[in-house]
């Protein structure tokens, strides 16, 4: 549960800080780093996960409207709600990051721990790296493995969009 709350916080902080970090759009570079043919299925999966979690939340919400004293309307309801909220925040951030002024934002250091855990969960890293020792150089080989597995070009820079898509992949596996 704490991990979900931390993930939501990282996604929301990223979303709110995007406006102040806009960078110059370079169409050729955008096409090279984020080819639409490979990117679109990942975005659709992110949307699909949000939709799936919304359906579960809506069913639970409707049930709890009819039987508010049910045991399923306490902690289980809150967990379902948080899972949907995390997926929605992630999708909304992915959508915003796709805007030309935000596509080249680099992943903030505050998101590296969450990325680290996602890469472990997805089996691109053997074990989580200690927070105080996390560097972009340590994460990039695993990120590049993930990019290759999803037919995206490898990179020397850790972009926020890549981090979000890896987070989305991890969310789908849960």
What does the pLDDT profile of the chain (174 residues) look like in tens digits?
A: 455 555 655 655 555 554 445 556 667 777 788 999 999 999 999 999 999 999 999 999 999 899 888 888 888 889 999 999 999 999 999 999 998 888 888 999 888 999 999 999 999 998 888 888 889 999 999 999 999 999 999 999 999 999 999 999 999 988
| pTM beyond cutoff 0.85 | no
Nearest of 4, 5, 2, 23 to residue 161 by alpha carbon? 23
Beta bridge partners of 159: 106
Within 8 A by CB and 6+ apart from 77, the residues are 60, 61, 64
- Contact criterion met (CB below 8 Å) for 122 and 165: no
Q: Say what the pLDDT of residue 19 is.
A: 47
What does the radius of gyration of the chain's CA atoms come to, in whole angstroms?
Answer: 17
Please report which residue ranges of 34-157 form alpha helices under DSSP H: 36-66, 75-97, 112-121, 136-149
């Amino acid at each position: 549960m704490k991990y979900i709350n931390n993930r939501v916080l990282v996604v929301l902080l990223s979303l709110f800080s995007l406006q102040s970090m806009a960078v110059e759009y370079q169409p050729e570079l955008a096409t090279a780093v984020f080819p639409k043919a490979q990117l679109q299925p990942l975005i659709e999966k992110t949307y699909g996960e949000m939709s799936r979690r919304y359906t579960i939340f809506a069913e639970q919400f409707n049930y709890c409207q009819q039987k508010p004293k049910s045991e399923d309307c306490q902690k289980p309801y809150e967990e379902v709600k948080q899972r949907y909220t995390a997926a929605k925040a992630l999708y909304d951030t992915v959508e915003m990051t796709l805007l030309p002024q935000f596509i080249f934002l680099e992943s903030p250091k505050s998101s590296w721990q969450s990325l680290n855990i996602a890469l472990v969960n997805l089996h691109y890293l053997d074990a989580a790296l200690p927070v105080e020792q996390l560097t972009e150089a340590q994460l990039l080989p695993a990120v590049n493995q993930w990019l290759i597995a999803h037919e995206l070009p490898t990179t020397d820079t850790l972009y926020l969009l890549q981090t979000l898509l890896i987070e989305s992949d991890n969310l789908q596996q849960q």
